[in-house]
Amino acid sequence: MGPALRKFVLTAHVASSVGWLGAVVAFFALAVVGLKGVASSYFAMNVIGLWVIVPMSIGSILTGLVHSLGTDWGLVRHWWVLSKFVLALGATVLLLLHQFTAVSEAARRAGAGVPVGRVGVQLAGDSTLALLVLLVATTLSVYKPWGKTRFVDPRAPTPMGVKVLASVVAVIGLLAFAAMHLAGAHGH
């Protein structure tokens, strides 16, 4: 990639990533307001999710992928790049599942005048976790920890930070899966 294209792609990546983070902050604020009984917040959350968070997350993944593959950073050369990509991909998959289940359900219930109940608590918790994941990804971008992967240097050990991050992501993924399963099995 030439310098002008590289800067354009990087700018698009930073803009979509910052947009994703900002929209999740707004979503979290609305989730807290929703817990206080303001039903209209669930309509706003649905709109923000569909028209801002989902497009920004997909834009962040695509521009990050193009930037990593088009520059010396590479997708699998550095642990921080690979970790960010895996976090963003996992977060987007969970976001899509979440958007078309819990968020749309909360908006539907609020529109029908039915109490949102545990779905509101789930949305506040999920948005808190989303903020945490996005802040970890931001931190990885700034600090660029852990060096090169085994794809570049087969003798390089897997850093403890990568192992801890992978373990935390796996545990959160399992807990999220279990919570969604239990919520579905016992109603909202």
Eight-state DSSP code of residue 151:
T
Confidence label for 187 from pLDDT (cuts 50, 70 and 90): very low
pTM: 0.86
pLDDT digits (tens, 9 = 90+) for 58-104: 999 999 999 999 999 999 999 999 999 999 999 999 999 999 999 99
Q: Looking at the 3D structure of the chain, how many domains does it have?
A: 1
DSSP string covering 2-46? -HHHHHHHHHHHHHHHHHHHHHHHHHHHHHHHHHTT-THHHHHHH
- Say yes or no to pLDDT of 188 above 50: no
**Identity of the highest mean pLDDT range in 21-30, 82-91, 168-177, 179-188:** 21-30
Query: In which domain, by residue range, is 62 found?
Result: 3-186
Distance of CA 18 to the CA centre of its chain: 12
pLDDT digits (tens, 9 = 90+) for 3-39: 999 999 999 999 999 999 999 999 999 999 999 999 9
d(CA 124, CA 112): 21
Confidence label for 165 from pLDDT (cuts 50, 70 and 90): confident
